[in-house]
């Protein structure tokens, strides 16, 4: 009886080889599961970025209506600390003209115009381009804690966020993804991969495309200082020629650069599937509000 019991126990036990095989199988299944989870997470971020682009579009529409039905939200602005300062250069004048359309003429009679808020410690004037400008229009003035408070409804001091009646904020920016560019208190907004969003308004298309083509300012990446291009189909046809472009860098956090079109527009040509938009190229995984798929793929 004892011998039989021992034999059965020995036969029913796992050998070392069998244990190693089981461990190997578990390891393979775990790695497959990890890959699946990572793909699902990445797809989730892609969906989140596309949804966020749509939400930004809706916020832009709300802001335009609240600003008196203006045609656009400029993507290049220059803010001064006094109304008189805006008259010293072309970008300041165009910014002043837009502020008057959005808030009325009363602000021009104020002795000071601290548009960047009480928490701003940099100097004036301050130039905002791309996503910096869009964050300003949608978030408004920030308080001492860096929280966006929109703009005051009081016509003579739109920057006075102590007023309880306000316009905006029109978008609830995730505080974790609000970064401060140079100077240190100018906010910008990054996407789910900690890469950049770029914003170009049709009112600034010509200025943006010329300066990028000549190596000047463009919309800079919050994480790497890379220029994000304003995109065109051909040297003469902008995407969204009457509205705006929002472009998100993809998981690689890098924008495609395209090729300069030359001519009178100096646009940056976007060609899906080739150049900077070929598979594994930096622009292949970029997203935009004028495309239903990644910019490296043909539109679905």
pLDDT of residue 2: 52
Could you tell me which of 52, 196, 201, 202 has the C-alpha nearest to residue 133? Answer: 201
CA distance 299 to 262: 25
Comparison of pLDDT for 39 and 48, the residue scoring more: 48
pLDDT of residue 24: 83
User: Parallel, antiparallel, or unpaired: how do β-strands 231-234 and 126-129 relate?
Assistant: unpaired
pLDDT of residue 225: 47
Residue 223 has pLDDT above 80, yes or no: no
Average pLDDT, the chain: 83
And the tokens for 240?
Answer: 């969204």
In this prediction, what percent of the chain has a pLDDT beyond 90? 43
Phi, psi of 197 (to 5 degrees): -100, 145
pLDDT of residue 11: 55
Element (H, E) at 93: helix 90-103
Residue 216 has pLDDT above 50, yes or no: no
Query: Model pTM?
Result: 0.82
Could you tell me which of 192, 240, 184 has the C-alpha nearest to residue 60? Answer: 240
- Measured from the Cβ of residue 106, the count of other Cβ atoms closer than 10 Å reads 13
pLDDT tens digits, one per residue of 64-98: 999 999 999 999 899 999 999 999 999 999 999 99
Per-residue CA distances from 211 to 180, 229, 258 (Å): 23, 10, 15
**Local structure of 285: helix, strand or coil:** coil
Residue 36 has pLDDT above 70, yes or no: no
**Domain parsing of the chain, residue ranges:** 44-189, 203-300
pLDDT tens digits, one per residue of 137-191: 999 999 888 889 999 999 999 999 988 899 999 999 998 899 876 545 788 898 8
- The mean per-residue pLDDT over the stretch 115-137 comes to 89
Per-residue CA distances from 166 to 19, 153, 245 (Å): 68, 5, 27
């Amino acid at each position: 009886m004892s011998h039989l019991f021992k034999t059965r126990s020995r036969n029913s036990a796992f050998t070392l080889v069998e244990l190693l095989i089981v461990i190997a199988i578990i390891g393979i299944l775990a790695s497959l599961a990890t890959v699946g989870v990572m793909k699902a997470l990445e797809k989730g971020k892609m969906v989140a970025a596309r949804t966020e682009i749509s939400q930004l579009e809706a916020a832009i529409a709300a802001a335009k209506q609240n600003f008196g039905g203006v045609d656009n939200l400029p993507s290049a602005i220059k803010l001064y600390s006094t109304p008189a300062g805006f008259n010293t250069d072309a970008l300041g004048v165009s910014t002043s003209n837009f502020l008057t359309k959005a808030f009325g003429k009363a602000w021009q009679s104020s002795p000071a115009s601290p548009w960047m808020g009480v928490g701003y410690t940099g100097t004036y004037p301050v130039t905002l381009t791309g996503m910096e400008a869009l964050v300003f229009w949608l978030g408004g003035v920030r308080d001492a804690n860096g929280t966006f408070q929109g703009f005051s409804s009081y016509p003579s001091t739109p920057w006075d966020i102590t007023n309880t009646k306000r316009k905006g904020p029109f978008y609830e920016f995730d505080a974790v993804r609000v970064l401060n560019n140079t100077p240190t208190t100018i906010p910008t907004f990054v996407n789910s991969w900690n890469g950049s969003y770029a914003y170009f308004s049709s009112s600034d298309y010509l200025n943006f495309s010329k300066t990028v083509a000549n190596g000047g300012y463009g919309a800079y990446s919050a994480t790497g200082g890379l220029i994000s291009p304003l995109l065109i189909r051909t040297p003469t046809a902008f995407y969204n020629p009457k509205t705006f472009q929002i472009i998100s860098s993809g998981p690689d956090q890098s924008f495609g650069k395209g090729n300069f079109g030359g001519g009178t527009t100096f646009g940056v040509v976007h060609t899906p599937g080739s150049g900077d938009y070929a598979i594994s190229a930096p622009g292949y995984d970029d997203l935009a509000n004028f495309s239903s798929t990644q910019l490296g793929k043909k539109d679905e």
